[in-house]
């Protein structure tokens, strides 16, 4: 195709079109596009053949994303797409195969990048940022998930710890957990730790590196380690330098795939710094007017998702009658949908804690909501497997009988 035949996109803003034959994925990609402030009309059901037809009939976008999972001859089809897209359009492929040969062949053909499914919002956003710059930016290995309560005592730490257990235990992902409640942290108790580790020392140190952090953290399992400190009522007054927080966050992301921060609702110094960098910000609330008001306020501060920093609203039923207003009224007030509602787990949590560490597989309904939260945060788009649920129910009934 000669240069003159291309219809270039003359719009000053970047345009992106995404093609996937998987109808179930359309709504999810539309949701991602909406959050990134991109045109959702450009999320289109179709394979590469349809993508080629679309490019011929429209101005060539800045980037074309195509799903290669259903393609019998992906390289052949991509070569045809490359020919019609021309030099200005970056082609990005989506797929499930972890295949280095395929990846290399795509790069050799001129494909800009290959995204492994499921793709998270922050991954999409950083790919689009690379498209704008014309080269792939280096990405940190790990991701930061900030979990914060919009008010105190509503289960933020329980949820943060539950997420870490699902990620490290069920999903076998290297996970770091930071208890940023420096006056009254409870993650050590939830993890059944006898001794607390050295967050305090880390925040005072001038030189944070992987080796130092490894010594300062407590290992809970082969995939889970925690950074916390003994509760101390003076700690909150001590200054925490912003650079310390950034260095700590970045170093943890070199050590773990997912780093969960439990941020207290009182927002001690450093909290907003973590929230401003986190790929995922989970706001834990309950269905009360105070929560609705605080959630709305926090959303005004950190609600912008156009850079790919996803906000997730999780409402936790932390007490039997903790719901004071209907979900619809809560959503109307905060101008957003609640993403996950976590059920009341009963008093069994206290019973478990009296005997040792919290094992959320003993709370099947709560565990499956936490797993849904993990899916939203990490891009997994499947629910907890039934096999685990059966096992968990059995374990839970044994615990009930024993208590």
* Shortest reach from residue 293's CB to ligand ATP, in Å: 17
Q: Which of 234, 244, 243, 241 is nearest to 213 (CA)?
A: 244
What residues between 152 and 171 interact with ligand ATP by CB under 6 A?
152-158
Spatial separation of the C-alpha atoms in residues 281 and 274, rounded to whole Å: 9
Instruction: Say whether residue 399 binds ligand ATP (CB under 6 A).
Output: no
Instruction: Say whether residue 181 binds ligand ATP (CB under 6 A).
Output: yes
Spatial separation of the C-alpha atoms in residues 161 and 299, rounded to whole Å: 23
What residues between 317 and 346 interact with ligand ATP by CB under 6 A?
317-318, 342, 344-345
Q: Which of 395, 398, 360, 387 is nearest to 169 (CA)?
A: 360
The structure tokens listed for 95 are 């797929």
Would you say 275 and 166 are in contact if contact means Cβ atoms under 8 Å apart? Answer: no
Residue 235 near which of Mg ion, ligand ATP, none (CB within 5-8 Å, type-dependent): none
The b/e string for 312-335 (b: 16+ C-beta within 10 A; e otherwise) is bbbbbbbeeebbeeeeeebbeebe
Instruction: Say whether residue 271 binds Mg ion (CB under 5 A).
Output: no
Instruction: Say whether residue 294 binds ligand ATP (CB under 6 A).
Output: no
Spatial separation of the C-alpha atoms in residues 94 and 65, rounded to whole Å: 7
Residues 137-156, mask of contacts with Mg ion (x by CB under 5 A): -------------------x
* Shortest reach from residue 45's CB to ligand ATP, in Å: 38
Given candidates 74, 95, 142, 149, which one binds ligand ATP under the rule CB under 6 A?
149
In the complex, residue closest to ligand ATP by CB: 155
Residue 261 near which of ligand ATP, Mg ion, none (CB within 5-8 Å, type-dependent): none
* Shortest reach from residue 403's CB to ligand ATP, in Å: 15
Would you say 342 and 317 are in contact if contact means Cβ atoms under 8 Å apart? Answer: yes
* Shortest reach from residue 392's CB to ligand ATP, in Å: 15
Residue 366 near which of ligand ATP, Mg ion, none (CB within 5-8 Å, type-dependent): ligand ATP
Q: Which of 111, 171, 179, 150 is nearest to 290 (CA)?
A: 150
| DSSP summary character for residue 233 | T
Residues 246-265, mask of contacts with ligand ATP (x by CB under 6 A): ------------------xx
Q: Which of 6, 11, 33 is nearest to 20 (CA)?
A: 33
Spatial separation of the C-alpha atoms in residues 141 and 268, rounded to whole Å: 27
Instruction: Say whether residue 229 binds Mg ion (CB under 5 A).
Output: no
Closest to ligand ATP by CB, 153 vs 326, is 153
CA atoms within 13 A on the CB side of 325: 17
Q: Choose one: 71-79, 229-237, 315-323, 331-339; the region binding ligand ATP (CB under 6 A).
A: 315-323
Binding-site size for ligand ATP (CB under 6 A) equals 20
Instruction: Say whether residue 186 binds ligand ATP (CB under 6 A).
Output: yes
| Residue spans of beta strands (DSSP E) within 343-392 | none
- Which residues share a beta bridge with 312? 282
Dihedral sign of CA atoms 162, 168, 171, 173 in order: positive
Closest to ligand ATP by CB, 16 vs 240, is 240
* Shortest reach from residue 186's CB to Mg ion, in Å: 6
Instruction: Say whether residue 392 binds Mg ion (CB under 5 A).
Output: no
Spatial separation of the C-alpha atoms in residues 329 and 309, rounded to whole Å: 26
Instruction: Say whether residue 349 binds ligand ATP (CB under 6 A).
Output: yes
Closest to ligand ATP by CB, 118 vs 232, is 232
Instruction: Say whether residue 157 binds Mg ion (CB under 5 A).
Output: yes
Closest to ligand ATP by CB, 20 vs 316, is 316
What residues between 264 and 293 interact with ligand ATP by CB under 6 A?
264-265
The structure tokens listed for 282 are 């989970």
- The alpha-helical segments, DSSP class H, found in 36-155 are 48-57, 74-85, 100-109, 121-133
Spatial separation of the C-alpha atoms in residues 265 and 79, rounded to whole Å: 52
Residues forming contacts to ligand ATP in the complex (CB under 6 A) are 149, 152-158, 181, 186, 264-265, 316-318, 342, 344-345, 349, 366
């Amino acid at each position: 195709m000669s240069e003159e035949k291309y219809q270039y996109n003359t719009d000053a803003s970047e345009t992106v079109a995404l093609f996937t034959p998987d109808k179930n994925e359309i709504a999810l990609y539309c949701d991602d596009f909406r959050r990134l402030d991109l045109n959702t009309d450009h999320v289109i059901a179709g394979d590469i053949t349809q993508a080629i037809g679309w490019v011929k009939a429209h101005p060539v976008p800045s980037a074309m994303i195509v799903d290669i999972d259903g393609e019998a001859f992906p390289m052949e089809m991509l070569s045809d797409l490359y020919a019609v897209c021309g030099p200005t359009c970056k082609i990005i492929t989506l797929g499930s195969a972890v295949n280095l040969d395929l990846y290399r062949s795509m790069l050799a053909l001129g494909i800009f990048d290959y995204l492994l499914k499921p793709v998270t919002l922050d991954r999409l956003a950083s790919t689009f940022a690379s498209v704008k710059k014309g080269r792939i930016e280096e990405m940190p290995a790990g991701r930061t998930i900030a979990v914060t309560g919009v008010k105190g005592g509503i289960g933020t730490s329980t949820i943060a710890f539950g997420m870490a257990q699902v990620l490290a235990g069920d999903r076998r992902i290297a996970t770091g957990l930071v208890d940023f409640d420096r006056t009254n942290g409870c993650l050590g108790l939830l993890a059944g730790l006898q001794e607390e580790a050295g967050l305090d020392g880390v925040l005072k140190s001038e030189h944070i590196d992987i080796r130092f952090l490894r010594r300062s953290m407590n290992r809970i399992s082969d995939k889970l380690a925690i950074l916390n400190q003994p509760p101390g009522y003076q700690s909150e007054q001590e200054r925490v330098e912003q650079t310390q927080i950034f260095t700590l966050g970045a170093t943890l992301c070199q050590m773990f795939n997912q780093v969960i921060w439990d941020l207290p609702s009182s927002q001690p110094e450093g909290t907003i710094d973590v929230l401003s960098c986190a790929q995922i910000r989970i706001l834990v609330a309950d269905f009360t007017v105070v929560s609705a008001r605080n959630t709305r306020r926090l959303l005004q501060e950190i609600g912008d998702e156009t850079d790919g920093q996803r906000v997730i609203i999780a409402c936790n039923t932390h007490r039997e009658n903790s719901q004071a207003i209907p979900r619809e009224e809560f959503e109307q007030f905060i101008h957003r949908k609640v993403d996950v509602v976590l059920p009341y787990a009963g008093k069994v949590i206290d019973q478990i804690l009296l005997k040792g560490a919290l094992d959320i597989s003993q709370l099947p309904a709560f565990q499956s909501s936490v797993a849904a939260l993990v899916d939203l945060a990490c891009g997994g788009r499947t629910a907890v497997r039934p096999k685990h649920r059966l096992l968990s129910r059995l374990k839970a009934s044994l615990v009930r009988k024993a208590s």
